[in-house]
Chain A
């Protein structure tokens, strides 16, 4: 695993050397804050509704604010992750630096891992910043911390899976735009597959990226969901390795 760190370091530096990382962080933060406060506003309005008292049990901070908030965040990630991953490998081809990387004495898997981890760090920074919204809420009420934490874990795993699919898409093209479109296409497909089948037991329900997120949103961490996301990540990285290797073996 020698070589992971220099790749990671360069990749992170490169993210923050361009406006892209800042734009992504700011946009994500604004969008998440906006959705968050829309939910909050809805909740506050609700409290003045006469019928609220009757549904008090079901309509609390968690069901009205937290759960919809994380659902929205998962969709926002679907749009943002392809922008994070698009340049990872496509750009190496475009700038001919692929030849430098692939003739250096580090293994292909270290190169892929370094790049993946850099993107993962950016994702973690993004999620940490968005947690400010929750902190605001905690100052004024008492949300279920268990739900919040498991939702964050779910969001992280979901995002990490998106990243693995995104880096694979980036290995297929030398154009960032094409890489982003491919990533978005795959993600949307894997998303919709779940939306079209409501039974979790069906095969489509199983391969769907979103169906495994639902439990995390309810505060339930199940091994099968963890295993699912970790497998997606592994498969994404494995396919990336295969794509880069086979291109040169042709």
Chain B
């Protein structure tokens, strides 16, 4: 372990070094230490910059939705975090261990489900988990217990004696998740865990992942947006190797609420409606919706519904409908990846 203060970079961690059982040594008490720190990480494949100066950090218990279109650099970033390959620039710390200075120590904190589950098709499920437990250096006396636990947790007890190559895709994915959990990792990295599954399997796997978070720090990549709202507590959106948005889901939702647009439908229809509305003090933009309704964007954080009603009443336009339009994540996502470069 290389505590951060010795290396001269800053974390939110506070260290207390206390003599503990005199003569035995020192124990580090970490308070609110970052579990994962990604610092200015870049990865170049020849000319191609797959990951471009990415930084973020996750606390214990965070569930990060790592979102981005195909080719955004999600897999590459995850491979760097898990120590599969080194970054061209930058560094990654897992629980304050530099992944590339002490890979053995860092890797023992991580469970990783790559994009394609890493399965030996000719092995029996239980035998496979036994092997993974061995290479992840699970102590012998805990091994059977761990294997039993992950099989139970992932719902694969009934296929324990089957050959992996004969399992359905959904079951293979479960075995893949089970292998990632075998060493009871503090950090769980899942690369598109629901891709290629049928809708029923997707729901099952999401439930499974939800049940895994809690104490663990989870990074989950996906290009499916609702997945993030369902499972995650934090979102990082990445496009063309760059982070375009980083937010806690809570704040993201608030932010969306704050700039909530108003949909307005009136009986009367005329050019001057738009002009009059845009001249209201708290309206920042107005545009036409799909079926000729007006979408009005208020200034940030201002409720303009009363002003709008008054205006419609005064002019006798005949109010048919007025409601807030809920921004969904999809809109945020599309906006984030389209304003990239600004």
Contacts and interface: CB of A to CB of B under 8 A. Distances in A.
B5 interface: no
Contacts of A3: 134-135, 137
Contact of A6 (B83, B86, B117, B135): B135
A48 B33 CA distance: 89
Place the interface of chain A in its size category.
20 to 34
B119 A97 contact: yes
Contact of B135 (A7, A95, A96): A7
Nearest to B134: A6
B135 A104 contact: yes
Interface string B106-121: 0110101011111111
B137 A99 contact: no
B14 interface: no
A60 B258 CA distance: 99
Interface stretch (A10-18, A133-141, A142-150, A226-234): A10-18
Contacts of B331: none
Nearest to B180: A100
Contact of A106 (B84, B127, B135): B135
B122 A17 contact: yes
Contacts of B122: 14, 17-18
A249 B85 contact: yes
A22 interface: no
Nearest to A104: B135
A106 B133 CA distance: 12
Contact of A249 (B86, B108, B132): B86
B45 interface: yes
Interface in A100-143: 100-107
Contacts of A10: 120, 123, 131
B120 A97 contact: yes
A100 B107 contact: no
Q: Is the interface of B mostly helix, strand, loop or mixed?
A: loop
Contacts of B85: 248-249
Contacts of B116: 96
Interface string B62-87: 00000000000000000100111110
Nearest to A100: B118
Contact of B84 (A17, A99, A105): A99
Contacts of B273: none
A12 to B, nearest CB: 12
Interface in A1-41: 2-3, 5-7, 9-10, 13-14, 17-18
A98 B118 CA distance: 7
A250 interface: yes
Nearest to A14: B122
Contacts of B107: 103-105
A249 B132 CA distance: 25
A102 B100 CA distance: 13
B135 A99 contact: no
Given A103-B107, A106-B137, 4 more contacts: A6-B131, A100-B132, A103-B83, A250-B45
Interface of B: 45-46, 79, 82-86, 103-105, 107-108, 110, 112, 114-123, 127, 131-132, 134-137, 179
19 contacts: A13-B123, A96-B118, A97-B118, A99-B84, A99-B118, A100-B114, A100-B132, A101-B135, A103-B82, A103-B112, A104-B132, A105-B103, A105-B104, A105-B135, A105-B137, A106-B135, A106-B137, A107-B104, A248-B84
